[in-house]
Amino acid sequence: MPTFDSIGIAATGATTYRKWLDAVSDNISNMNDAVSTSSAAFQQRFVIAQPAADGNGVQVGGIVLGDPNGRVVYEPNNPLADKDGNVRYPDIDLSDQMGQLIMAQRGYQANLSVVDRARDAYQAALQLGRNA
């Protein structure tokens, strides 16, 4: 195994977790976006992770979109309401998104910790070589 593989593999994990964080933040920021019932609601984003093509690490395999039907809510005073007083909202649960956010954040931090520890180990090895 080449010397710097651990840093490269951890970097692929950090990148994948960052994409997951981006998707969750999009979901949270758009969860209260109302549209008319004739339009599609904001579609929740789900990040699909897969092994990297070279076998070292992970990569984003794609983004899957949630249900465009969302949930229909009776809000007759909303300017977007249809003749029956309904509007459409994304079907996004804040508590689920907060759990996703915590998991993605912890994974991101763990991968960055691996990079820091590997860097420290490589620097210590270089220092040993200088002192020999």
The values of phi and psi at residue 38, to 5°, are -85, -5
Q: How many domains does the chain have?
A: 1
> Structural domain of residue 61, as residue ranges?
5-131
Whether the Cβ atoms of residue 31 and residue 95 lie closer than 8 Å to each other: no
Find residue 89's DSSP bridge partners: 71
Q: Among 128, 130, 116, 111, which residue's Cα sits nearest to residue 12?
A: 111
Rg (C-alpha) for the chain, rounded Å, is: 22
* pTM reported for the whole predicted model: 0.84
pLDDT digit string, tens, across residues 32-83: 999 999 999 999 999 999 999 988 899 999 999 999 999 999 999 999 999 9
